[in-house]
Amino acid sequence: MHGATIEIPGVGPVMVVKSKRARHIRITICPDRTIRLVIPRRESLEKGREFLRSKVPWIIRNLPRAAELGEPRGGNLPDFEISESRACKVLIDRLEEMSRVHHLPYGRVSIRNQKTKWGSCSSKNNINLNINLVRLPDQLRDYVILHELVHTRFKSHGREFWAELNRVVGGDAKGLARKLRAFRLGGHEVGGRVPGAAAGPAPQVKEPILALEELFS
Ligand SMILES: [Zn+2]
């Protein structure tokens, strides 16, 4: 199934991805206008196609917006090394992989350019990731992703949370949290705050969403 595409007149090719982890059929648009249709393994390709067909107006409406979001915004991230669309893909792929490997399903993901948080997980288990995660060492990028995935099971930073996080990072979660604090985000120090500390209802975030998603419901 990997690599399959569906051609939609007026939209272009849509990549079809079968996912063992996904719980809903969904459509994601990245800033480079890559459109992906993610279908949970238990759902049929036909149902995915049907959803896709019904969402063509949504895609057409949101394509220009997605492209706009991908345009460089003057000097905010002078040392940004890779494109936003590439960063979106790296983070979403990594999140999906870790979710599958550790059996920690999530709702949906949005990638944002946040100034104060590396990530968050809402009460509905929707995960927000900071696009600047791609600038961290892989180990710390993975730590943040796993931290948010563990919040899908435990909302507060209690003993059970840290035990589960230790299990999935393979050891010293608190040591990784300390290492992460040495990194500055958007010119501001993250201030000793553990990423995603504001778990629970998603805070109002003003930063633009860098990947748009529509869920089957
Ligand atoms: Zn947290």
Angle between the 56-69 and 45-54 helix axes, to the nearest 10 degrees?
Answer: 70
Tell me what pLDDT residue 80 has: 43
Which residues lie at CB < 5 A from ion ligand 1? 196
pLDDT at 3: 64
The Å distance, Cα 183 to ligand 1 centre, comes to 17
Which element (helix H / strand E) includes 86? helix 84-101
Whole-prediction pTM: 0.56
**Ligand 1 centroid distance, CA of 214 (Å):** 26
How many A from CA of 118 to the centre of ligand 1?
A: 10
Domain-wise residue ranges, the chain: 4-215
Residues 43-55, mean pLDDT to the nearest whole number: 92
Residue 138 CA to ligand 1 center (angstroms) comes to: 18
pLDDT of 188 reads 32
Query: Average pLDDT in the 181-206 region?
Result: 43
**What whole-number distance in Å separates Cα of residue 190 and Cα of residue 146?**
18
Secondary structure string (H, E, C) spanning 175-209: HHHHHHHCCEECCEECCCCCCCCCCCCCCCCCCCE
Give me ligand 1 centre to Cα 12, in Å. 39
CA distance 77 to 95: 23
Classify domain 4-215 at the CATH class level. alpha beta
Distance 111 CA to ligand 1 centre (A): 17
